[in-house]
Amino acid sequence: MVEERIRRGRLSGALLAAACALAVASCQSGGAKTEATAAPAESTTETQPRMASYTCAGGALVTVENFGSSVRVVGPEGESLDLPASPATQRNRYGEASDAIVLEGREALFMRRGHEPLTCVR
């Protein structure tokens, strides 16, 4: 039981760190463009399924349709959001404005303005 709590704590910490990175990345200014571009980062996580349903705390349900460079998320209140990869080379972090989802293995962290973040599993 203790090992499960430790594992969940580490994974929740990793998801929180990814969410913070997403928030910081969305604050980038549209400064001068350079000719050099970074190579896309290799993903070390498993490939996400095209369609997946996630059960969240309190029994809420989030459905994700994954197009690779974007996702369509149907939230627990039935709201539908189309979110682009953020940054564009990512395949596990999606978001714009104040809405985001981070997909890591079988877990998802769903964040919406004015709502508590939801940690979900498929």
| pLDDT top residue among 10 and 60 | 60
Q: Give the span between the Cα atoms of 26 and 49, in whole angstroms.
A: 25
- This prediction has a pTM of 0.64
First to last CA, the chain: 21
pLDDT at 47: 82
Lowest mean pLDDT among 9-13, 31-35, 107-111: 31-35
Sorted by where each starts, the structural domains of the chain and their CATH numbers stand as 2-26+46-121 (2.40.128)
Lowest mean pLDDT among 7-11, 86-90, 97-101: 7-11
Q: What is the pLDDT confidence band of residue 21, given thresholds at 50, 70 and 90? A: very low
Q: Give the span between the Cα atoms of 107 and 114, in whole angstroms.
A: 22
- Of all residues in the chain, the percent with pLDDT exceeding 90 is 59
Question: Are residues 70 and 82 in contact, defined by beta-carbon separation less than 8 angstroms?
Answer: yes
Residue 13 pLDDT > 50, yes or no? Answer: yes
Q: Work out the average pLDDT over 28-45.
A: 43
Lowest mean pLDDT among 24-28, 100-104, 117-121: 24-28
Contacts 24+ apart (CB under 8 A), 14-18: 14/104, 15/102, 15/104, 15/107, 15/109, 15/119, 16/109, 18/92, 18/93, 18/102, 18/104, 18/109
- Which two structure tokens, joined as six digits, stand for 91? 């395949």
45-85 residue pLDDT tens: 468 899 999 999 999 999 999 999 999 999 999 999 999 99
- Which two structure tokens, joined as six digits, stand for 108? 């998802």
- Which two structure tokens, joined as six digits, stand for 55? 């059960």
Q: Identify the bridge partners of residue 109 per DSSP, sorted by sequence position.
A: 102, 119
